[in-house]
Homo-oligomer: A and B are copies of this chain.
């Protein structure tokens, strides 16, 4: 099938030929509505006219960045990686990603579960919602997807086959390389002009060579360390959530990269939320909930990762009997601690790049009051700097929380 951009009308014609979708709707008549913020893709809600509870999402990529226009080319193959990642994550732990009803790489489209009663987590955190099950959920998702797509579980050939499926996600990896690790730390046209201009703090950051050397180390790791399949952009805007379920969406940045990256990105976005509530809502109780959430997420991640590992005796890396059990346990504990350390480093990059880079986060850049926003920015940068300067020697989760508590 040749690629064709669908619209509100042709999307229904397309759907009529897809058995897996039609069997979901049965005999109902269908309607299509365009929804979504439409930064990158076209998103349609396909729903039954007879039963509005029956609905699916159809998401199609176009070969440009939609919010900028057709002149800003961005290969629509990104949808292939999103589809592959959704399917892979689903095969490992189905409940944490939207169910895919139909996928078509040639058409760069996917039809999936409509997450009706869900909130984008970033908004929920701004509104001080306490998601009591989140640390349990996200730690399971991360431990499972990272472990089961790594050389600690897969065979050597399975791992190479996985790399093969994602290695060519060139454009989106390059976006991360540039925007997470480079441009936001130097004078660059893509940076947020308003935030950078006349900012002493921005100048200070751009001249902080000690810090930037650490960021460069982590950039190198991001580019060359093929640990496991990553979501690639796991901030709180990529999580749809309600009281019972957290659902990870938009994995178009997926690739096989370093263990610590997704964890670090999520940690950084919790930092942004913590800073927002330190500066804006000043809700100490909610701040404590956030800190507890971070601690539980990281601690449970480590425990679960080790639990999964204890069930995999043979893998690309390990052959049963190679190490005695005491040495093996020590090796594993060190391995997981190294993941935690790298996560803290990556969190530093992600938190800091949101301050002056092109893509700010609502919690910081969205603060209306100039003084408060500057205060929030300083606080984020302070935490990010501590993370980056100390990540290689972090011993445990409490140290991470201390860095947050100590920041003013």
Contacts and interface: CB of A to CB of B under 8 A. Distances in A.
Interface of A: 151, 156-157, 159-161, 163-164, 167-168, 170-171, 173-174, 177, 182, 185-187, 209-210, 212-213, 216, 219-220, 223-227, 316-319, 321-324, 326-327, 330-331
A225 B223 contact: no
A156 B182 contact: no
A327 B209 contact: yes
A224 B227 contact: yes
A186 B151 contact: no
B173 A160 contact: yes
B160 A167 contact: yes
B331 A213 contact: yes
Given A213-B331, A327-B209, A182 B225 contact: no
A156 B168 contact: no
Given A156-B173, A170-B156, A212 B327 contact: yes
A316 B223 contact: yes
B324 A209 contact: yes
A223 B186 contact: no
Given A220-B151, A224-B227, A157 B186 contact: no
A168 B168 CA distance: 13
Nearest to A223: B151
14 contacts: A151-B220, A156-B173, A156-B223, A167-B167, A186-B322, A187-B321, A209-B326, A210-B327, A213-B327, A213-B331, A216-B317, A216-B331, A219-B317, A226-B226
B186 A321 contact: yes
B226 A224 contact: yes
A185 B186 CA distance: 48
Contact of A223 (B159, B164, B323, B330): B159
A167 B170 contact: no
Contacts of A213: 323, 327, 330-331
B223 A224 contact: no
Contact of A185 (B174, B227, B322): B322
A169 to B, nearest CB: 8
Contacts of A226: 224-226
Contacts of A209: 323-324, 326-327
Nearest to A210: B327
A357 to B, nearest CB: 14
B323 A216 contact: yes
Given A163-B167, A186-B319, A224-B226, 5 more contacts: A160-B168, A160-B173, A164-B164, A167-B167, A216-B322
A200 B250 CA distance: 57
A156 B174 contact: yes
Contact of A170 (B160, B216, B317, B319): B160
A171 B213 CA distance: 37
Contacts of A156: 170, 173-174, 177, 223
Nearest to A221: B225
A317 B223 contact: yes
Contacts of A322: 182, 185-186, 212, 216
A212 B323 contact: yes
Nearest to A331: B213
Most buried by B among A173, A322, A323: A322
A331 B170 CA distance: 26
A332 to B, nearest CB: 11
A393 to B, nearest CB: 15
A10 to B, nearest CB: 33
A226 B221 CA distance: 9
A355 B160 CA distance: 29
A289 B323 CA distance: 38
Contacts of A185: 322
Contact of A317 (B173, B220, B318): B220
